Amino acid sequence: MELNHLIDHTILKPTTLVTDVEKCCKEAIEYSFAAVCIPPPFVKMASNLLKDCPVKVSTVIGFPFGYNAIEAKIAESVLAMVDGAEELDLVINLIALKNQDWTYLANELNHLMPVIKKENKTLKIIIESGVLTDDEIIKCCQLYGAGDIDYLKTSTGYAEKGASVHAVQLFKANLPRGMGIKASGGIRDYGFAKDLVDAGATRLGCSASVAIVTHPQNLQKS
């Protein structure tokens, strides 16, 4: 199974260096990854490094906790798109979710979608599935599935639990057919990556991307 075209090569640590982003972009070109996912301050640089290249530039909005005001997320999104981001990975307001304020979450999405879709950018909604109950995950699938987003994404990688096969299976069972599913958080080897894809993931967010795609199993099957 060729996994490289499904991978968002990711570096989001708070101590990210210019050289880290340069390396990330170089590796993304070398291994034909789908995208790089990098901190907002590096979007303009990454856009220049990947100019005229099929690798997409992705960044995060409201990261990592999601409780930024809607207005702040809009401002972040606009700036990211101006700087050259083609894909936005946006963390929902988890405080609203845990307090069962689905009206707030719907309002958040309704304010952000027109801003992002007006520019024809890809929107990935991060729900942090590792800290949610199955019922909460299913309700998220219903809300964001009806919202016509591009991808529902499992995790930021900063919660106590990241991606799981179970969460991806729940996504697949409760999202509209054809909606993207991005698994991220704790994907460090080929076997787990393949299990997630087999469960329904159509994108993978990984920092261990090179190790995953150069695993002997992957090379043998690609």
Alpha-carbon span 198 to 191, nearest angstrom: 10
Q: Is 134 a catalytic residue?
A: no
Q: Is 89 a catalytic residue?
A: yes
- Active site residue: 56, 73, 121, 182, which one? 182
- Active site residue: 56, 89, 124, 194, which one? 89
Which one, of 56, 58, 60, 87, lies nearest residue 73 by Cα?
Answer: 60
Q: Is 215 in contact with 185 (CB distance < 8 Å)?
A: no
SS3 label, residue 222: coil
Query: For 98, phi and psi rounded to 5 degrees?
Result: -65, -20
Alpha-carbon span 214 to 29, nearest angstrom: 15
DSSP 8-class letter at 129: G
- Active site residue: 56, 124, 153, 194, which one? 153
SS3 label, residue 183: strand
Alpha-carbon span 208 to 212, nearest angstrom: 6
Cβ atoms within 10 Å of 158's Cβ, excluding its own: 15
N-terminal to C-terminal alpha carbon distance within the chain = 6
**The two three-digit tokens of residue 25, written as one number:** 């972009």
Q: Is 9 in contact with 29 (CB distance < 8 Å)?
A: no
Which residues are the active-site residues? 89, 153, 182
